[in-house]
């Protein structure tokens, strides 16, 4: 796939996840025996990139990982899914982001312990900015949103649509100019504390989100 012509550029977090299926979450100082253990790629923006690639879209990912085994696995898994990793920065001597996830079968709930690593935020290069300006969509998560102040002047007037995954808190989030805002119900109601779900949706639209 040519990295010069993509439909969507996803910017943000890519992780290596270790997922344990347990009957129930352990109490403090407790212990449970896992029924299954899997390792998979994760991170909101990276997961979106994979989903879009599986739907047949041309996708590039912008993020940062370390030069460790986890970083190698992250890049390899994205490549295997058809996502361009040209714009992933590999930081020498850094540790890649990883997460430990417990999935409780009985309660159908999960808990996540996230390690952000030491590779730092995504880096925008001149080629990656050009890729964003030529794409149909740019999708960011809570980690990728931090580079938007650099990116927005370059994509204004190009017709590129901006999608924001708001599942994790984004302190300085501004919805004006956002085409698609996708928070969880919990995150949306936390943003508009005290408001009903319907009122929170209306408030987000009033702030400037198109959808």
- Which are the contacts of 157, defined by CB distance < 8 A and separation ≥ 6? none
**Integer Cα distance of 179 and 190 in angstroms:** 21
* pLDDT over threshold 90, residue 190: yes
Q: How confident is residue 2, by pLDDT bands cut at 50, 70 and 90?
A: very low
pLDDT value of position 148: 84
pLDDT value of position 158: 86
* pLDDT over threshold 90, residue 198: yes
State pLDDT tens for residues 66-117.
999 999 999 999 999 999 999 999 999 999 999 999 999 999 999 999 999 9
Sign of CA dihedral 133, 188, 169, 186: negative
pTM: 0.94
State pLDDT tens for residues 127-155.
999 999 999 999 999 999 999 878 888 88
For each of the domains in the chain, give its residue range(s) and CATH number, in order of start. 8-165 (3.40.1190.20)
pLDDT value of position 189: 95
Mean pLDDT for the stretch of residues 41-61: 98
């Amino acid at each position: 796939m040519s990295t010069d012509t993509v439909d969507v550029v996803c910017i943000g977090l890519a992780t290596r996840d270790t997922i344990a299926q347990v009957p129930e979450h352990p109490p403090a100082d407790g212990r449970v025996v896992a029924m299954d253990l899997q390792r998979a790629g994760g991170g909101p923006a990276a997961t979106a990139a994979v989903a879009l690639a599986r739907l047949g879209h041309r996708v590039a990912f912008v993020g940062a990982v370390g030069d460790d085994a986890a970083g190698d696995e992250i890049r390899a898994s994205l490549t295997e899914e058809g996502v361009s990793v040209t714009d992933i920065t590999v930081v020498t001597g850094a540790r890649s982001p990883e997460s430990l996830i417990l999935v409780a079968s009985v309660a159908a709930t999960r808990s996540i312990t996230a390690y952000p690593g030491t590779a730092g935020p995504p880096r925008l290069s001149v080629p990656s900015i050009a890729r964003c300006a030529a794409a149909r969509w740019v999708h960011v998560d809570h980690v990728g949103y931090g580079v938007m102040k650099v990116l927005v002047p370059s994509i204004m007037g190009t017709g590129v649509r901006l999608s924001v995954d708001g599942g994790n808190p984004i302190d300085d989030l501004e919805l004006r100019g956002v085409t698609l805002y996708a928070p969880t119900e919990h995150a949306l109601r936390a943003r508009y504390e005290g408001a009903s779900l319907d009122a929170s949706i209306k408030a987000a639209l009033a702030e400037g989100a198109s959808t």
